[in-house]
Amino acid sequence: MKKKDKRPTQINLMIRCIIAMYLIYLAHSIISDLGTAPNARMMLAFAIAFTFAGVLILAFTIKAFINKDYKDMMDLSDDEDTVTDAGSSETEGTVIDEIVTDDAVVIKKEAGKSPEEDTEPGETDSE
């Protein structure tokens, strides 16, 4: 059984940065409209709280980026590709299915082939 890694991914850290910047932006817009607010003390309290939360989130996120305290996306793809079968790990192969549609017949007609030429040798139309 694998032990779960509780570290965030790079994408999660980027989302945290965006949220922190948005909180700081909201605090700035509250402070700029503070003169027209009916309850200036409450608005100032929210602006301080948003600024504090945004700076705190941004600081911890930047610290995680600097210390490389995150899961690398390349490591995640390697973990998903390995298959454990009787104690051995092998890389799974990629299977590509071919789908035959009417478009393929149209393309072959344009290329100069008729649909009758597409039948395999030994097959005949018995109509």
Count of C-beta atoms within a 10 Å radius of residue 46: 15
Higher pLDDT, 63 or 75: 63
Instruction: Taking residues 117-122, report their average pLDDT.
Output: 57
Q: Which tokens go with 83?
A: 């298959």
* Single-letter amino acid, residue 37: A
Judged by average pLDDT, the poorest of 2-11, 19-28, 39-48, 54-63 is 2-11
* Single-letter amino acid, residue 78: D
CA 4 to CA 67: how far, in whole Å?
20
pTM: 0.54
Nearest to 9 by CA among 98, 85, 86, 75: 75
- Say if CB 17 and CB 58 are below 8 A apart: yes
Count of C-beta atoms within a 10 Å radius of residue 50: 20
| CA angle (34, 35, 36) in 5-degree steps | 95
Confidence of residue 12 (pLDDT cuts 50, 70, 90): confident
Residue in the structure block whose two tokens are 């301080």: 48
**C-alpha dist (Å) from residue 106 to 85, 102, 111:** 45, 6, 9
